Structure 1
Amino acid sequence: MSFAQFIQDAWNKQAKWLIVLRPLSWLYRSGFLLNKKMYQVGIKSSYQAPVPVMVIGNITVGGSGKTPLLIHLVNHLHSLNIRVGVISRGYGGSGPFPAYVNLESEPEVVGDEPCLIVQSTGVPMVVGSNRQHSIESLLSRHCLDLIISDDGLQHLALARQIEWIVLDQNRGLGNQKLLPEGYLREPPSRLKTGTVIEHAAEPTSALNMHLEVALPYLLNAVGSKPFHPEHHFYAVVGIGFPQRFYQTLASIGIHPFQCHEFPDHYEYEIHDLEFEDDYPIITTEKDAVKILPLLKQHSNFKREVWVVPVEAKLSAQCYDVLHHQLQQLGIQIP
Structure 2
Amino acid sequence: MSLAQMIQDAWNKQAKWLVLLRPLSCLYRVGASFNHQLYQSGIKSVYTAPVPVMVIGNITVGGSGKTPLLIQLIKYLIHRQLKVGVISRGYGGQGPFPALVTLDSMPDEVGDEPCLIVQSTAVPMVVGPDRKAAIELLLSQHQLDLIISDDGLQHWALERQIEWIVLDLNRGLGNEKLLPEGYLREPKSRLETGTVIEHGLQSHSILNMHLQAGQPYLLNPTGNTSRLFNQYDEFYAVVGIGFPQRFYKTLESIGIKEFQCHEFPDHHDYEIEDLQFDDQNSIITTEKDAVKILPLLKQHPDFSTEIWVVPVEAVLSEACYQLLDTQLQQLGISLSQEI
- TM (norm. structure 1) is 0.99
Q: How far 1:225 moved relative to its partner?
A: 1.9
Unaligned 5+ segments in structure 2 are none
Deviation readout 1:192-247 (Å, 9 max, x if unpaired): 00000000022111000000000100000132320001000000000000000001
Match of 1:244 in 2: 246
What percentage of aligned pairs have identical amino acids? Answer: 72
Matched, 1:285 2:287: yes
Distance 2:74 2:317 in 1: 16
Residue from 310, 318, 321 that aligns with 1:319: 321
Query: Aligned partners of 2:170, 2:45: CA distance in 1, in Å?
Result: 36
| Cα deviation 1:234-281 (Å, max 9, x = unaligned) | 000000000000010011111110000000000001111000100000
User: Aligned partners of 1:71, 1:4: CA distance in 2, in Å?
Assistant: 28
Corresponding residue SS for 1:260: strand
Please show how residues 158-177 of structure 1 align to structure 2 within 5 Å: 158-177=158-177
Q: Which residue of 2 is the match for residue 262 of structure 1?
A: 264
**Residue 273 of structure 2 corresponds to which residue in structure 1?**
271
User: d(CA) in 2 for partners of 1:62 and 1:322?
Assistant: 25
Give the match's secondary structure for 1:148.
Answer: strand
Q: Is 1:216 matched with 2:216?
A: yes
Cα distance in 2 for residues equivalent to 1:179 and 1:283: 28
SS at match of 2:28: helix
Structure 1 unaligned residues grouped into runs of 5+: none
Q: State the distance in 2 between where 1:34 and 1:107 align.
A: 34
Please give the alpha-carbon distance, in whole angstroms, between the structure 2 residues aligned to 1:243 and 1:188. 23
Find the aligned partners of 1:179 and 1:238 in 2 and give their Cα distance: 20
The aligned residue for residue 128 of structure 2 is: 128
Task: Give the secondary structure class of the aligned counterpart of 2:289.
Answer: helix
Partner of 1:59: 59
Q: Which residue of 2 aligns with 1:90?
A: 90
Q: CA deviation at 1:39?
A: 1.1
- Matched residue SS, 1:72: helix
Structure 1 runs, 4 residues or longer, greater than 4 Å off: none
The total of aligned residue pairs comes to 334
Partner Cα distance (2:165, 2:122) in 1 = 24
Correspondences of 1:71-82 after superposition (within 5 Å) = 71-82=71-82
CA drift at 1:5 = 1.1
* CA–CA separation in structure 2 for the residues paired with 1:313 and 1:79: 16
Shift of 1:32: 0.6
Give CA deviations for 1:145-176 in whole Å, capped at 9, x if unaligned: 00000000000000000000000000101000
Matches of 1:188 and 1:241, distance apart in 2: 19
1:153 equivalent in structure 2? 153
Letter of the 1:283 partner, please give it.
T
